[in-house]
Amino acid sequence: MRSNRLSTRRDLLDRESPVINIHLNGESREVPADLTLAALFEWLKLPADRLAVECNLEIVPRSKWGDLIVQPNDRLEVVHFVGGGKNDFAGS
């Protein structure tokens, strides 16, 4: 018997929408088809202003994210930059 609760991100997709499998940071993921890189990051709720991306062993410049359509079995490596820490240069 299936629970009424949404159990996975897949459940959030419209059942009629096509999906594709990609590899994101080494893990297989099911995502909506026909997304650009920019739209994929939005769908994944990733802060695009702090990302660097490699697609199939090639660095993708941020200027191309809105043009590059994610394809089935693409291998994406995404690095998320995190700021923080103590500013050692500030005067006390």
Per-residue model confidence (pLDDT) at position 31: 97
Question: Quick one: DSSP state of residue 48?
Answer: G
- pLDDT tens-digit series, residues 64-89: 999 999 999 999 999 988 777 665 55
In the structure encoding, which two tokens stand for residue 65, read together?
């994210």
Q: The dihedral of CA 62, 43, 23, 35: what is its sign?
A: negative
CB of 37 within 8 A of CB of 46?
Answer: no
pLDDT tens, the chain, 92 aa long? 444 443 344 555 555 679 999 999 999 999 999 999 999 999 999 998 989 999 999 999 999 999 999 999 999 999 988 777 665 555 54
DSSP-assigned letters across all residues of 23-83: EETTEEEEEETT-BHHHHHHHTT--GGGEEEEETTEE--GGGTTT-B--TT-EEEEEE---
pTM score > 0.75 for this model?
no
* Cα–Cα distance, 21 to 79 (Å, whole number): 20
